[in-house]
């Protein structure tokens, strides 16, 4: 009887210890959300889209942030929140969804559009004040031999909705959606000239 009582106490202690053990929070996985509606394509595209490129520090799924009030040269990543894919891959998908409706250039082969993602992060001026920064460039390589390449650079900066990973994601997704019409406008003015 005494052995049985000691066994029950030991079992209760083990089970109680398990419930007191710290739990590891699950990782939050984000993407850019649903794309804005794009009109249906009515003609062949004026360009072909290469995969978006990015420097090595943007090649992971980490959601990047920078504490400029503490050490501006140090790039950090949120521990428990990640992108569903590297930002360049997410941007490639969004570009293909949104730029598929652009008209072609009559009598001309499609140009090659190459987009580079240069910055995609949340920047903190103080613990409660942050902004998101999207910096990108595009190069349009005409199919015609000898035609010069055209290049354009963009930098979009917006206040982050909240000073956390979720705010970084919402702000960066909105910056992407704000940038796409600018890219489309530049393409429309440049692709067929």
The CB density around residue 172, as the number of other CB atoms within 10 Å, is 27
Distances (CA, A) of 88 to 31, 57, 169: 11, 11, 14
Is pLDDT larger for residue 18 or for residue 74?
74
Confidence check: pLDDT of 24 > 70: no
Lowest-confidence region among 9-23, 74-88, 135-149: 9-23
Confidence check: pLDDT of 16 > 70: no
pLDDT for the residue numbered 145: 76
Query: pLDDT category, 105, cuts 50, 70, 90?
Result: low
Rounded CA gap, 111 and 141, in Å?
A: 6
Which among 48, 123, 61, 57 has a CA at the least distance from the CA of 89? 61
pLDDT (tens digit per residue) in 59-69: 999 999 999 99
Rounded CA gap, 176 and 163, in Å?
A: 19
pLDDT for the residue numbered 142: 84
Mean predicted confidence (pLDDT) in 102-129: 87
Lowest-confidence region among 110-114, 144-148, 182-186: 144-148
């Amino acid at each position: 009887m005494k052995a049985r009582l000691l066994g029950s106490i030991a079992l209760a202690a083990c089970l109680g210890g398990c419930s007191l053990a710290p739990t590891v929070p699950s990782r939050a996985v984000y993407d850019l959300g649903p794309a804005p509606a794009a009109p249906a394509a009515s003609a062949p595209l004026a360009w072909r889209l290469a995969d978006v490129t990015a420097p090595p520090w943007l090649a992971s799924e980490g959601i990047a942030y920078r504490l400029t009030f503490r050490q501006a040269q140090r790039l950090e990543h949120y521990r428990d929140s990640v992108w569903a894919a590297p930002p360049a891959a997410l941007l490639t998908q969004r570009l293909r969804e949104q730029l598929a409706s652009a008209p072609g250039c009559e009598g001309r082969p499609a140009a090659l559009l190459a987009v580079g993602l240069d910055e995609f992060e949340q920047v903190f001026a103080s613990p409660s004040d942050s902004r998101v920064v999207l910096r990108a460039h595009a190069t349009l390589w005409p199919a015609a031999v000898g035609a010069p390449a055209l290049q354009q650079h963009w930098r979009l900066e917006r206040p982050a909705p909240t000073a956390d990973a979720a705010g970084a994601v919402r702000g960066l997704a909105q910056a992407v959606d704000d940038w796409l019409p600018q890219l489309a406008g530049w393409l429309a003015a440049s692709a067929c000239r």
